[in-house]
Amino acid sequence: MLRQISTIIRNNRGQSIVEFALVLPLLLLLLLGIIDFGQVFYKVILANEAAREAARTVATSDAGGSSAKSTAIAAAQAIDSSFTANVNSTSLVTGDTLIVTVTGSVAIADPIMSTFLGNPYSVSAKANMRMEQDM
Report the pLDDT value the prediction gives residue 7, as an integer from 0 to 100: 66
**Blockwise average pLDDT, block size 10, the chain, 135 residues:** 67 78 92 90 91 85 71 83 81 78 88 83 90 66
Report the pLDDT value the prediction gives residue 57, as an integer from 0 to 100: 83
DSSP for 54-123 reads HHHHHHHS---THHHHHHHHHHHHHH-TT-EEEES-S---TTPEEEEEEEEEE----HHHHHHH-SSEEE
pTM above 0.85, yes or no: no
Report the pLDDT value the prediction gives residue 38, as an integer from 0 to 100: 92
Tell me, what DSSP letter sits at residue 133? Answer: S
The CA distances from residue 122 to 7, 81, 83, in Å, are 58, 14, 10
Report the pLDDT value the prediction gives residue 75, as an integer from 0 to 100: 85
Report the pLDDT value the prediction gives residue 1, as an integer from 0 to 100: 65
Report the pLDDT value the prediction gives residue 63, as an integer from 0 to 100: 64
The CA distances from residue 68 to 21, 50, 64, 90, 103, in Å, are 57, 15, 5, 7, 17
